[in-house]
Amino acid sequence: MRPYAWMPWPLRWFARVLTVLLALALVLAGVLVYTVRKSFPQLEGSLRLPGLTGSVEIYRDKSGIPHIYADTSADLFMAQGFVHAQDRFYEMDFRRRLTSGRLSELYGKATLDQDKALRTMGWRKVAEQELPELAQQTQDYLGAYAKGVNAWLSANPNASDRSLEYSVLKLQNGGHEPEKWGPVDSVAWLKAMAWDLRSNMEDEIDRALALTKLPRERVEQLYPGYPFDRHAPIVGEGAIEQDRFDQRAQPRPRAGQAFAQAARTLDAVPSTMSSADREGIGSNSWVISGEHTASGKPLLANDPHLAPQMPSVWYQAGLHCRKITEDCSYDVTGFTFSGVPGVIIGQTDKISWGFTNLGPDVADLFLEQVEGDTYLYKGERVKLETRQEQIKVAGGAPVTITVRSTRHGPLINEVMDDAKPSGEANAVALQWTALTPGRTVDAIFALNRAGDWEEFKAAAALFDVPAQNLIYADTSGKIGYQAPGRVPVRPKGDGTWPVPGWTGEYDWKTAPIPYDQLPSVQDPAEGFIVTANNAVIDPRRYRPLLTKDWAYGYRSERIRDLIKEAIKKGPIDAAAMGKIQQDTYNGFAETLIPALMEVDLAGPAGKARESLKTWDRAQGLGSAPAAYFNAVWRHVLTLTFNDDLPAAARPTGGDRWYEVVRRLLAAPDDLFWDDVTTGNLKETRDDILRQAMASAYQELADRLGEDVKGWRWGDLHRLELVNGTLGTSGIGPIEALFNRGPLSVAGGKDAVNATGWNVQKGYEITAVPSMRMIVDLSDLDKSRWINLTGASGHAFHDHYWDQAEVWARGELLPMYSKAGSVKKAAVHVLKLNP
């Protein structure tokens, strides 16, 4: 009997069509599954890797985290290049194109402005200048790493062998053949790292933009001085003595302390980072000496706060010489960058270190007077330096730009919309320390070899950009802090405003602050060190200007308080460190809530306000008061400042605005409270607070329902893990392939668990603890860590985002580093042979 013969004709026709469609769907699904899985890396068995001098073993645990074992350093870094390429080559290739200003070759006109800006700053050219100045050993290791990447490329010649992204790109624009990897590709990525962690350039621009609508004294209200009387700096002792920073020295009274006086004056004024989405970028780190720990050895914690990425910017790995010799001197475990050899943050077999952004002012905007191909400098016309840059554009003709530079740096006003000149100036030049060749790559390898405090300090001396707060602990029990980096010396000015370049009086001195004069401390009397982007040292104690634009110390002071509380309860262990990392306390609630309670407020908003009376200030997922308070805070900021400021300079939240509003609360008739859009009506503080509470209630009632008790902070505060390239394509099915989430996450901006959000856009998360690490120096196998997403960059791989939910719950994974533990935890073993 023929199929479907028993059915009426219309049903037979429908059944046949349905069968064909199902068959096609199965074929397409099979093709998709095949295409997706074809690029997954080989994790077991053995492979030949031309260029190795000996065998290398790669052990991966159940999270896919690799530990690499070799007999020579060159083999070790070659294998690291191979493993990075296995898991993350598309990400590496994208970063390479980003730093070179070549994104438009893949993505067309959509990325042309980015390429113009990057070509203008010339990251790639600086990296090319930097490479030959690095130590020969560093150059050798970069070359070995590149060999490993290229060996993987040679073994995977087809687009479908490399990743799903390449298969999609092949459908869109005919595909792309990646070039061989080179050492400069690794060096250039560190320029991107430096750019992300640059200091106050956006603050300079925002000040200048605000000045277009407000007088200077009112703009200054928006940048209050650091509250040294309430929030401790990182280094509370020492001064420069005989051209060196001496931890035991006391500052000597001297004339001309104009900076300290100005800071105190500004701090006394009753008043009210960066671009909107960068202000949440920061980090926490702290280290506690053995006198306060259960084991008698130090504990170290670190969680850098960065914009969320899919996959995470970090890649966990262990790099181990089977036997420590002169030819192989590495035994290090930690967080790496795919595309860069070595470990950026982590532990050796003897020491551990962590980073937070020190945030010194290492970039200045110089206003220039350009005429034709010259610019004015000290009364004379000087010829501009010029170069041509051709940008290839997928689907279009190449675009050529002319990059022009003064002695202060490239002219950026033609490619950066916010950097517009005014007044006598008609151009803006950027001077930035990262545009001068440095030795940061040397520092990475030196840190990875360090075995004690002196070797650590010697490694830190090589760390040029970005300048970071480095905390330290070792197995002997020592703890310490070092501020490294190339920090310019300004004979005039403080780096907070754009300055005229034509006078020459604001030019940086040739030499930066000497490394020996940068703040440092070891084994402080308190027994712990905390860094959270707060001020490094009080300017009344320390004369060279580091910056005026610190974070304002709300996170650092909360961490200090929690450590002190923990010490009172008894010895601290790793679990206590983890609880501190997960603290969600809102540091501004104690200031704002009393002011809210004094305002006359009736109706549903008044009932919502009642929830704040018993709120513990924690911003947990299920907290209704946290949801309401953050909504009120959002509306306080937008109602108070949006009418006064241009869009690019409006508040995004964060602890600078805590300080601004704290001072404004004491000045109920300040002009900032008045809404200039309401004509003859003059609003005061209470008017704005009342409206903010009412608007916050209405917003949440519309979104979450009218039952205040049913509101949950986690229903507003959510994280989308978005792939940085095809995840923003605007094509729904493609975005669905690469993006994940959303996840509800506790915490908030400038809580210790710093899940930042932008008050101008909503409550969605824009900055996160990109990883977390707790190192136990009594037994390094007891250390713990977590990554934001997972080891793999391959969509649909088991390890693409398997750590994300663990991260969101605040949990950590074992961070094994000893050979026995690594091998016991391994679920895959791959052997690479010459």
Residue 8 has pLDDT above 90, yes or no: no
Residues designated catalytic:
283
Q: Residues 786-815: pLDDT tens digits? A: 999 999 999 999 999 999 999 999 999 999
Residue 173, pLDDT score: 66
Residue 737, pLDDT score: 94
Residues forming CATH 1.10.1400.10 domain(s) in the chain: 589-618+620-716
Q: Report the range of poorest mean pLDDT among 113-122, 512-521, 745-754, 768-777.
A: 113-122
Given the structure tokens 């599954």, which residue do they identify? Answer: 33
Residue 762, pLDDT score: 96
Mean pLDDT of 290-313: 96
CA dihedral 789, 793, 796, 802 (to 10 degrees): -20
Share of the chain above pLDDT 70, in %: 90
Residue 392, pLDDT score: 93
Which tokens in the block code for residue 698?
Answer: 């209405």
- Report which of residues 211 and 414 the model is more confident about: 211
- CA nearest neighbour of 303 among 327, 290, 328, 284: 284
Q: Residues 519-576: pLDDT tens digits? A: 999 999 999 999 999 999 999 889 889 998 899 999 999 999 999 999 999 999 999 9
Cβ-proximal residues to 632 (8 Å cutoff; 6+ apart), any chain: 592, 596, 692, 693, 696
Residue 31 has pLDDT above 60, yes or no: no
Residue 661 has pLDDT above 70, yes or no: yes
Cis status, amide bond into 742, omega within 30 of 0? yes
CATH homologous superfamily of 589-618+620-716: Aminohydrolase, alpha-helical knob region (1.10.1400.10)
Q: Which pLDDT band holds residue 37 (cuts at 50, 70, 90)?
A: confident
Given the structure tokens 């492979």, which residue do they identify? Answer: 47
Residue 508 has pLDDT above 60, yes or no: yes
Residue 818 has pLDDT above 80, yes or no: yes
- Report which of residues 809 and 395 the model is more confident about: 809
Residue 268, pLDDT score: 23
- CA nearest neighbour of 736 among 796, 787, 792, 788: 796
CA dihedral 561, 566, 569, 572 (to 10 degrees): -160
Cα 287–293–294 angle (5° rounding)?
Answer: 150
Q: Residues 419-454: pLDDT tens digits? A: 556 567 888 899 999 999 999 999 999 999 999 999
Residue 730, pLDDT score: 87
Residue 467, pLDDT score: 87
Residue 88, pLDDT score: 97
Which tokens in the block code for residue 76?
Answer: 């070790």
Q: Given CA atoms 289, 292, 296, 301 in this order, what sign does their dihedral have?
A: negative
Tell whether 204 is in a known binding site.
yes
Residue 2 has pLDDT above 60, yes or no: no
Q: Report the range of poorest mean pLDDT among 253-257, 580-584, 730-734.
A: 253-257
Integer Cα distance of 549 and 551 in angstroms = 7
Which of 131-145, 156-170, 176-190, 195-209: highest mean pLDDT? 131-145
Q: Residues 583-640: pLDDT tens digits? A: 999 999 999 999 999 999 999 999 999 999 999 999 999 999 999 999 999 999 999 9
Mean pLDDT of 2-22: 52
Q: Which pLDDT band holds residue 175 (cuts at 50, 70, 90)?
A: low
CB 348 within 8 A of CB 449: yes
Residue 209, pLDDT score: 83
Question: At residue 326, what are phi and psi to the nearest 5 degrees?
Answer: -65, -35
Integer Cα distance of 522 and 531 in angstroms = 14
- CA nearest neighbour of 512 among 596, 439, 610: 439
| 666 exposure class (CB count in 10 Å sphere: 0-12, 13-18, 19+) | exposed
CA dihedral 265, 270, 272, 275 (to 10 degrees): 0
Q: Mean pLDDT over all residues of the chain?
A: 90
Residue 396 has pLDDT above 70, yes or no: yes
The beta strands (E) that lie in 393-478 are given as 399-406, 409-410, 427-432, 468-474
Whole-model pTM: value is 0.92
Cβ-proximal residues to 244 (8 Å cutoff; 6+ apart), any chain: 516, 517
Tell whether 669 is in a known binding site.
no
Q: Report the range of poorest mean pLDDT among 57-71, 114-128, 257-271, 740-754.
A: 257-271
Residue 174, pLDDT score: 64
Q: Report the range of poorest mean pLDDT among 274-278, 319-323, 414-418, 800-804.
A: 274-278
CB atoms within 10 A of CB 318: 27
Residue 265, pLDDT score: 19
Q: Residues 707-716: pLDDT tens digits? A: 999 999 999 9
Residue 197, pLDDT score: 73
Q: At what angle do helices 183-196 and 440-449 cross, to 10 degrees?
A: 90
- Domain at 45-196, CATH class: mainly alpha
Residue 100 has pLDDT above 60, yes or no: yes
Residue 543, pLDDT score: 86
Q: Which pLDDT band holds residue 264 (cuts at 50, 70, 90)?
A: very low
Q: Residues 722-750: pLDDT tens digits? A: 998 899 888 899 999 999 999 999 999 99
The b/e string for 2-19 (b: 16+ C-beta within 10 A; e otherwise) is: eeeeeeeeeeeeeeeeee
Residue 792, pLDDT score: 98
Mean pLDDT of 115-144: 95
- Report which of residues 29 and 53 the model is more confident about: 53
Residues forming CATH 1.10.439.10 domain(s) in the chain: 45-196
